[in-house]
Structure formats: C-alpha cells, structure tokens
Amino acid sequence: MATNPSWILRSHPSAMPTTENWALEDRPVPEASDGELLVKTLWLSVDPYMRGRISPAKNYAAGFKLGDLMLGGGVGEVISSGSSDFSPGQIVMSDYFGWQPFTVVPASSAKLVATTDAPMQAALSYLGMPGLTAYFSLLKTARPKQGETVLISAASGAVGQIAGQIARIKGLDPVAVAGTDEKLEWCKALGYRAGVNHRTSADLVADVTAACPNGVDVFIDNTAGPIHDAAMLNLNAFGRVVVVGTIALADRFDQPDIGVRHLRRTLITRARIEGFLLDDHASEYETALAD
Amino acid sequence: MATNPSWILRSHPSAMPTTENWALEDRPVPEASDGELLVKTLWLSVDPYMRGRISPAKNYAAGFKLGDLMLGGGVGEVISSGSSDFSPGQIVMSDYFGWQPFTVVPASSAKLVATTDAPMQAALSYLGMPGLTAYFSLLKTARPKQGETVLISAASGAVGQIAGQIARIKGLDPVAVAGTDEKLEWCKALGYRAGVNHRTSADLVADVTAACPNGVDVFIDNTAGPIHDAAMLNLNAFGRVVVVGTIALADRFDQPDIGVRHLRRTLITRARIEGFLLDDHASEYETALAD
C-alpha cells in the first residue's frame, strides 16, 4: 500500500486557524470508479473562502465536518480515469482535490488545463477562480465607467492583483490598499496608480482621500474591516461597493462584526453595495476568459 | 403692516428636535418680485428629510443656518404673481414654502395643483414627494418580481402607507413594520398582508421570520436601526435593500451609527443595498403619476 498522507480537519478554529486544527493521517491511495478520476496532486490552492468552510457557521459553501478530508482547488495529473472524457497523463483542474498526494475527484468537476499558454498553476490563479472573481466583480457587478477611481483592498492578493490589472487595461484608475510597502510597490508595477498601506497608516480615511483625490467611485472590498470605513467615507455619489471578501474578520469569524454602520452615508451617496459570489457567473466564464 | 408670524431656526438640535430649536418671529408680509409668487400657506408638510436640513452635518439637502426661516413643502393659494405662468387664486405646490402664513416662492419651484381629482393636500402626500418616493424606491430601485415578499419599515408613515398599497396592486406580498398595533391594523386595511410591531416585539428577528415565512426579498428601509438587522437576518439570496430613510437614528443624528455590520451577510446572500433619493428620478415623475 502506497502511503497517501492526508490533511484531516480535527477541530473548527474559533479565531485564526492554526496547524492544530488539522491532523496528518496516512491513508491508502484510492481507486477511481466509473465517473471518477484518480489524480496526482501537483498544485493546491488555499483560498479565503475556505475559512468559511472550516467554520461550523452557516455559510455559502457547505462546511467540512470534523474528520473530513480537506478539499480545495487543485491541479494534477490524471493517473487513472473512469471517464471517457479524460485519459492518464492529462493535466486537470478541479475544486475537489484533497489535501493529499493522490485523490479521486468526480470527472464532472474536472477541467482540462492547457499547459501551452501559461503555467498549469495559472488555472488556480489568473485563469481560474481568483481571476474570474476579479473580472466579474469589477466589470459586471461594479459596472465602472471610463476613468473612474477603483479602490481595491487586499490589492496584492489573488483577486486584487488581477483586479488592478484589469482596471488598468479597461481605462480605470486603480488604487491599492495592502499591508506592506513591498506589496504596494509590486501593485504599482502591475498597474496600480497609487497605494495605501493600511497597517502603517495613522489615518486611513485621510490616506485614502489623498490617494483618491477625485473620491472613490468603485470599491472592490476583499477585506471588510477598517478599510471598508475608509472607502465608505470617501465614496462618491452613486459609488459602488462590491463585497467580495471579509478576510479582516477571519479572526472573529463566528462573532458579529460590530462597527460603524454606513446606512446614512449609503442613502446620501445613493451607493450601491452588492455581495459577490463567483458561482453566480458560471455561465459566462468562457466569455470572460476570452476577453 | 400685516403680521406674518414665522418660524426661525434658533439652534441645531443635537438629538431629537424640540420646540426650543425654533423661535416664532413676526415678520412683514413679503412682496413678489419678477419670477416670484406670493402665496398664502394652506398646507405645510413636515418630512423626515428635514431632520438632516436642521443639522450642521453635511447632508444631501443643503442645511439651514441659524436665523433662517424654516422652509419645506407646502400647498397654498397664489395671492400675487410675478410670473406669466401663474395667476392669483390658483393653488400651487412648492418645496420652498416658509413656515409662515405668507411666503414668496420662486415661480420656477411652483407646480399647479389640480383640486378636482383629489384634495389639494394630496400634492404633499400620495401625489407628491412621499408617493413618488414609494413608487420609485419600490418599483425602480428594488425591482421586485411578482409574488416577492416586501418588508417595509415605518409602514404607516407617509412613504410606507403608499409603498404597501403599490406593492399590493403590483402583485407583491407586503409586510409592515410599525410601532403600534393600531398602525398595523390600518396597514392591513390598506393591503399589507401581515405586520410586526417593533416596539412590543421581544425578538424582532423571529417576528419578521414568522411574518415572512418565505424570507424577505425586498426591504424598503425607512428607519435603519434594529429593524434593519431583523431584515438583513431574514434576507433571501439576491435580496434588495433600499435605504430610503434612517429615522431611527434621529436622536443621534450627529453620531456614527454603531451596530452590527452585515457585510458577510451581504456577501453570502449577494444582497444589493442601495441608497435612494427621490430627486434622482425627477425626469420620470409624470410617467409615475400616470401609472
């Protein structure tokens, strides 16, 4: 029996997850039945949405139970195939890779990964979920107009780094919020015009004002938290806020988020604040990847 | 000199306004110059937006300064006219009536009031600003679909009583939130299916759940405050919240509204939360009144 060391959820974290929340267990290499693929894991993606899946709280993605194998997006090589659509040696992407060397995934969840145009792991980043999230949240949900200022939090993250580049390509004025000066420098190299370091800022509202002298027209909110306040207080009339993530709340995931509520500001600016989940846009992935 | 007792703003209220915030001063009856009308006040409207105008805080409507004559929506008779569009004896509506018996208003602000189809004061309620607010906030901003549940706060108020009737006429399922059982009974007589008394409720979230067994698809929020929480926690996927008013915050107008922030819930439900001001829809008033 070949070993297949596998990460198993042992406890639900109550604040920030630690390695104590998982156990590494040796499991047998599984076999693919009809409609399944046995894949060898080459790349795994650890994404913010997983924080919700390891919480017992109700969420948009079904949660893991204690003792469950951790699953997530991955890219791997087909070792054996129970589907006429795939054959051994092909590289595929699926959202159901186990955190283990050898996994069985449903063939229906797998997509062939082209390895000629980009590194295969791009299927987990700019050609995959984060890239599509950036594309649809910015262009479809926020509906920016030419020249508008787009503030993006977690700007150097998987979604933000793509959103800033899309904003630049589409003739918008992207401004980054990130947690180190190095990240901000990198953001500028990618196309962001300006940036705000939310960790060293003494006055986040004023720093966003300085970085966005024409105000904020669109805010791609990957974080919630104090950056959300700074964006709301700089929001122009008819501003749009797309709530893509709430990673600033990761250490208090099971507690309500207490803070300033911007309902009057929402009224006064006639802002539109909209929650975003990528799955809602699945029918348009191909159009987006072609754009 | 005929007397013209006039209400003058004496101080900016810091919480709920009191009569101490105004002084009654005798002023001369003014005269209409070119482009103006001298009107005799018949009806004045006291509306929630005025709370913002008597605050020194930045707001969507320009604020009054201390010593200013209070102005607001009114209906009155033209006494003398400096405009070829109006003649003495006509009944007009304007948003610039002083709180005084005789006022000069800009002729450009005046609209002739038809007194045949409805009482003239309807120009300040269902045929005026509150009626148009109900119409556009519900039908245009929230964009409800047939059969959807529409929760409306301040349901017996100027906007809410109209919004509930429009919802009923348009095949929606309106549910009222109001502060007394008498108001709720009246709401039901107007067409609301069910109601929640937010003052006597021991558990507003549960009571909204009971009144909206299929969840809340649209929330017309005239109040903010705890009713907003109860609506957000009952909001269905792709729910829409229109922030029309924040009257629950009237006693802490100059302080930030501290409470639960529903950003994660906004994300999970993919809610759309949008601020509403009637002025943005001015070009469509005639279409709305005809509907």
Cβ partners under 8 Å of residue A156, min gap 6: A176, A178, A183, A184, A186, A187
A129-156 confidence digits (pLDDT tens): 999 999 999 999 999 999 999 999 999 9
C-alpha distance from A237 to closest chain B C-alpha (Å): 10
3-state class (DSSP) for residue A160: helix
CATH superfamily of B129-280: NAD(P)-binding Rossmann-like Domain (3.40.50.720)
Q: Contacts of residue A271 in chain B, CB cutoff 8 Å?
A: 273-275
Q: Quick one: how far is CA B240 from the chain centroid? A: 19
- The half-sphere exposure of A144 on its side-chain side, counting CA atoms within 13 A, is 30
Query: Is it the case that residue B134 has pLDDT exceeding 80?
Result: yes
CATH superfamily of A129-281: NAD(P)-binding Rossmann-like Domain (3.40.50.720)
| Of A249-263, B130-144, B146-160, B204-218, minimum mean pLDDT range | A249-263
3-state class (DSSP) for residue B108: helix
Query: Tell me, what's the pLDDT at A117?
Result: 84
- Rounded-to-integer distance, Cα A100 and Cα A70, Å: 9
- What confidence tier does B290 reach under pLDDT thresholds 50, 70, 90? confident
| B270 contacts A275? CB cut-off 8 A | yes
- Rounded-to-integer distance, Cα A75 and Cα A120, Å: 7
**Which one, of B121, B187, B194, lies nearest residue B157 by Cα?**
B187
User: Secondary structure of chain B: what % helix, strand, coil (to 5)?
Assistant: 30, 30, 40
Query: Tell me, what's the pLDDT at A2?
Result: 58
Query: Is it the case that residue B277 has pLDDT exceeding 80?
Result: yes
* A154, two tokens: 């977690």
Angle between helix axes A158-169 and A181-190 (nearest 10 degrees) is 40
A241-258 confidence digits (pLDDT tens): 999 999 888 877 778 898
pLDDT-above-70 percentage for chain B: 98
- Rounded-to-integer distance, Cα A161 and Cα A66, Å: 34
Cβ neighbours around A136 below 10 Å, total: 22
CA distances from B72 to A68, A222, B29 (A): 64, 42, 18
Query: Tell me, what's the pLDDT at A190?
Result: 96
Residue tagged 């186990």 (tokens): A98
C-alpha distance from B48 to closest chain A C-alpha (Å): 13
User: Which of A270, A272, A277, A281 is the best substitution to test chain B (most B C-beta atoms within 10 A)?
Assistant: A270
Looking at domain A3-124, does it have CATH number 2.70.50.60? no
User: In DSSP terms, which residues pair with B102 in a beta bridge?
Assistant: B40
Which string of DSSP letters, residue by residue, matches A47-68? -THHHHHTSSS--SSPPPPTTP
A221-238 confidence digits (pLDDT tens): 999 999 999 999 999 999
B277 vs A256, A259, A270: nearest CB: A270
| Domain residue limits, chain B | 3-122, 129-280
C-alpha distance from A246 to closest chain B C-alpha (Å): 6
B269 vs A228, A263, A275: nearest CB: A275
User: Topology of B3-122 in CATH?
Assistant: Quinone Oxidoreductase; Chain A, domain 1 (3.90.180)
